[in-house]
Amino acid sequence: MTMDAARQTRTGAEDDVLKPTSSSLEAPSACNGKVPRNGYESEEGALEPPAVQAEDPSDDKPAMESSSRVTLLQRIGTTAFWSFLVVSCFVMFAGALIVFLVTALFDKRRLVLHLYSCFWAQLYFYVNPIWKLRIEGRERLPWRGPAVLVSNHQSLGDILVLFGLYRPYKWVSKASVFKVPLVGWNMRLARYIPLVRGNRSSIERMMAQCRYWLEQGVPILMFPEGTRSKDGSLLPFKEGAFRLAVEAGCPVIPIALNGTAATLPKHGFLIRRRANCKVRVLPPVHPRDVDNDVGALKDKVVEVIDAERLALEAESRAEREG
């Protein structure tokens, strides 16, 4: 055999090995002659080849544009709100200082300054198109006479909302708030009551100041939960407010609020959504109705606030769905 003949024989053998046969193009018999589709059987029990469909990148474009637009609007709205708040605080504190200087000699209860502070706080609802506030039962609050006002606590926005009651009372608030420039200074001028949570001497001073104002016929307002609820549900109530009511022989006026968690966020500054806030002032609960029992008085008030809070949530849910 010549060298050319040997080369042709070897090349032909290699072609036979590399050349696909009809049987090699078919799927294994275990697959019934078909290629699996993502490893799953079809409804007929046969494995089918995957269907590849080209993605259209333009499909996600409207959603992406909408998301970007919402985020941009949120940032613009948040920047505008906080800018207005900072600037207005300077202006409104200047007004508060004038009110204090003019009325301090004859208005020992600081009623005029308190009502001015109510307007200051409500200003941020008046100018904000995405915040709405509705208050019911304001007529149950006294203009004069001792009373202990207690409310559930959902957000920092609760303070702005409850100023909308436009009735006299003294706030019991964290001592750290009194250190905030302008706002805290106004709280000191109005003779609100500071409290350091967990500090026994501070608690005793707070209770003494509350007793003083109740003796003067001025209501006090407290958040018995002591801190903001994370999910809107009620936290355990502390007994201080109810003990004061029993000692003073004055009514506890329960207040239920809802929707304020959407106003000022607990962490961060971004205002993300609309707020539909509702406040409902409930009928007074007098200590004598529970035989001056502090624990029973607390339980009764917790019961009525929680029931009304759930009713407000249901109303808000129905309004959104409707």
pLDDT, tens digit, for every residue of 122-152?
999 999 988 999 999 999 999 999 999 999 9
Domain ranges of the chain: 74-321
| pLDDT tops 90 at residue 104 | yes
Architecture of domain 74-321: 3-Layer(aba) Sandwich (3.40)
More confident residue, 73 or 250: 250
Average pLDDT, integer, range 294-322: 93
Average pLDDT, integer, range 112-127: 96
pLDDT, tens digit, for every residue of 176-200?
999 999 999 999 999 999 999 889 9
| pLDDT tops 90 at residue 34 | no
Work out the pLDDT band at 69, boundaries 50, 70, 90.
low
| pLDDT tops 90 at residue 320 | no
| pLDDT tops 90 at residue 271 | no
What average pLDDT does the chain have? 82
Task: Among 16-20, 36-40, 56-60, 234-238, name the most confident range.
Answer: 234-238
Parallel, antiparallel or unpaired: strands 275-281 and 252-258:
antiparallel
Q: Indicate yes or no: pTM above 0.95.
A: no
Average pLDDT, integer, range 48-60: 46
pLDDT of residue 272: 66
More confident residue, 36 or 284: 284
| pLDDT tops 60 at residue 64 | no
pLDDT, tens digit, for every residue of 246-261?
999 999 999 999 998 8
> In the sheet that 131-136 helps form, which strands lie side by side, from edge to edge?
131-136, 275-281, 252-258, 148-151, 220-222, 170-174, 193-195
| pLDDT tops 70 at residue 265 | no
Task: Among 39-43, 55-59, 294-298, name the most confident range.
Answer: 294-298
Average pLDDT, integer, range 6-11: 46
Work out the pLDDT band at 240, boundaries 50, 70, 90.
very high
Q: What is the SS3 string spanning the chain?
A: CCHHHHHHHHHHHHHHHHCCCCCCCCCCHHHCCCCCECCEECCCCCECCCCCCCCCHHHHHHHHHHHHHHHHHHHHHHHHHHHHHHHHHHHHHHHHHHHHHHHCCCCCCCHHHHHHHHHHHHHHHHCCCCEEEEEECHHHCCCCCCCEEEECCCCCHHHHHHHHHCCCCEEEEEHHHHHCCCHHHHHHHCCCEEECCCCHHHHHHHHHHHHHHHHCCCCEEECCCCCCCCCCCCCCCCCHHHHHHHHHCCCEEEEEEECHHHCCCCCCCCCCCCEEEEEEECCCECHHHHCCCHHHHHHHHHHHHHHHHHHHHHHHHHHHHC
